[in-house]
Structure 1
Amino acid sequence: MNTVQIKNITVGGQNPIALIAGPCVIEDAERTLAIGRAIKAIADRLHIPYIFKASYDKANRSSYNSFRGPGLKEGLQILAHIKKELDVPVVSDIHCITQIEAAAEVLDILQIPAFLCRQTDLVYEAARSGKVINVKKGQFLAPLDMKNVIAKIEEAGNKNILLTERGATFGYNNLVADFRALPIMRSLGYPVVFDATHSVQLPGGAGTTSSGQREFVPYLTRAAVATGIDVLFMEVHDNPPEAKSDGPNMLYIDQVEALLQDVLAIDTIVRKHK
């Protein structure tokens, strides 16, 4: 398996599990930094490599009037400040080719949203940046179909690839996490990420917004880690009910440490068999 270097963090192979976490969207600079600082303190206590995540723009919303974030310019300035203050790598979503150059100046990982994972030009041009590319598997794709996404990135000369599972959809405002997908995607030769909080999302489940089932995040997390994933992805907030995006499926900060202790215990066992 190819390992991937993200600043001073190596993921894949026999390396311990890493964490990507943060709020769904940048709501304001101070709160976003505070959430990142709280997560980093937990990760440091548990000696888990940590990568900060927040979106500068949530382009895929159920309603035109839904909050999207501060946008590219201001959002990247906030992420650059967080990166410096916390001394951690940062990741955010890109949605079109015109965002890549500016995003690559700040971000350590360019994330391709699930609905855009088949957009050849976006994937290829992102790969040409030389940055680590995290591709979320489309909810409509079989796990082995990700080999075609990998081929597009490799065609651009980039082998810094992460593959993320976030559930499959059959309509009816629900997602299903098929844990076979994780070892299948890992067999393609690159580190695999499990998105624990988006996997319990109920897309459009509240009519004009998505809903979610936060109570199932710990169960899916423990099951995914038992398959041998390389990175755990979760969105976290100090008060999810008042979050401006994905509140019903985000974890409270005070739930994170106990869950990560379980994650470490399971990962220690599983790494012997990777």
Structure 2
Amino acid sequence: MKKLSIIAGNCVLESESISLETAEFLVRMSEKYNFNLIYKSSFKKDNRSSIGYFSGLSIEESIRIFEKLKDEFNLTLLTDFHNLYEFDTDLVKIIDVFQLPAFLCMQTELTKRMASFKKPINIKKGQFLAPQDVGHIIHKIRSCGNDKIMITERGTMFGYHDLVVDPRSIYELKQFGFPVYFDAGHTVRRYGIPSHSIQGGMKHYVPTLSKAMIAAGADGIFVECHP
């Protein structure tokens, strides 16, 4: 049986202590349940719905925390990039997997710059995008000489404030020949409602949808979490 891979971590870096606690917990779980772990945490959430929401630490502080995580736990690190200037920082040296955000997955210059570093790229499929159309993003990345690609299904818009998950999407995405992950957290979120609100998500669907997507052929699960 193929070993499951899980991309997990805090939504965004909050502090050194929370990051280390989360990493220690996830490493322990990966050893207990025998799965491959990729540690994910954004250094900045540039797509917050409200300007009043916490969006991250400074780049300098984020780099310091990422380095600490790698030194203490030897983690494979994943973070997302939203702006071209971020590629001019030392983030590109410490981060192992670059993530193309769902809302920005059609941005050509961002995609090409990301691909130019020849590091693995996790494409977050936009909620507005048909799975077959991810092929255009893949072509942009491969045109830069980068074949290190992962794809994450994060649901499809279903009217206002709702998403649905179609298992057929896993099949279609697998046809490209790259690993496919299922975002188990964002797919049950309700856009526009804060995460701390009980109406902000339907977490009781996470186990069922995760098992369904693995059964449909997903190679792993993407989930943001706290210990």
TM-score (norm 2): 0.94
What is the Cα-based RMSD across aligned positions, in Å? 1.8
Of the three residues 70, 75, 78, the one matched with 1:91 is 78
Shift of 1:116: 0.3
C-alpha change, 1:140 and 1:225, in structure 2 (3 Å) is same
> For the Cα contact (< 8 Å) 2:153–2:183, is it kept in 1?
yes
Q: Which amino acid aligns with 1:33?
A: L
Partner in structure 2 of residue 140 of structure 1: 128
Q: Which amino acid aligns with 2:135?
A: K
C-alpha change, 1:194 and 1:157, in structure 2 (3 Å) is same
- Provide, for residues 106-147 of structure 1, a one-character-per-residue CA deviation record: whole Å limited to 9, x for no partner: 110000110000000001110001110001000000000000
- Provide, for residues 212-250 of structure 1, a one-character-per-residue CA deviation record: whole Å limited to 9, x for no partner: 111111111111110111121111113xxxxxxxxxxxx
Partner in structure 2 of residue 120 of structure 1: 108
Matches within 5 A, 1:124-273: 124-206=112-194, 211-238=200-227
Report whether the alignment pairs 1:74 with 2:73: no
Shift of 1:208: 11
Shift of 1:179: 1.2
User: Following superposition, which runs of at least 4 residues in structure 1 exceed 3 angstroms of deviation?
Assistant: 206-210
C-alpha change, 1:64 and 1:20, in structure 2 (3 Å) is same
Q: Which amino acid aligns with 1:116?
A: L
> For the Cα contact (< 8 Å) 2:3–2:34, is it kept in 1?
no
Partner in structure 2 of residue 60 of structure 1: 47
Q: Which amino acid aligns with 2:27?
A: K
For residues 194 and 222 of structure 2, what CA distance do their matches in structure 1 show?
A: 24
Q: Which amino acid aligns with 1:65?
A: G
Paired residues, number: 225
User: Where does structure 1 lack aligned partners over 5 or more consecutive residues?
Assistant: 1-13, 239-274
Matches within 5 A, 1:93-112: 93-102=80-89, 103-112=91-100
Matches within 5 A, 1:12-91: 15-91=2-78
> For the Cα contact (< 8 Å) 2:12–2:43, is it kept in 1?
yes
> For the Cα contact (< 8 Å) 2:42–2:79, is it kept in 1?
yes
Partner in structure 2 of residue 256 of structure 1: none
For residues 87 and 174 of structure 2, what CA distance do their matches in structure 1 show?
A: 26
For residues 207 and 225 of structure 1, what CA distance do their matches in structure 2 show?
A: 25
For residues 207 and 88 of structure 2, what CA distance do their matches in structure 1 show?
A: 37
Shift of 1:59: 0.6
Q: Which moves more between the two structures, 142-151 or 44-53? A: 44-53
User: Where does structure 2 lack aligned partners over 5 or more consecutive residues?
Assistant: none
For residues 171 and 208 of structure 1, what CA distance do their matches in structure 2 show?
A: 23
> For the Cα contact (< 8 Å) 1:104–1:131, is it kept in 2?
no
For residues 217 and 208 of structure 1, what CA distance do their matches in structure 2 show?
A: 17
> For the Cα contact (< 8 Å) 1:133–1:161, is it kept in 2?
yes
**DSSP-derived class of the 1:26 partner:** coil
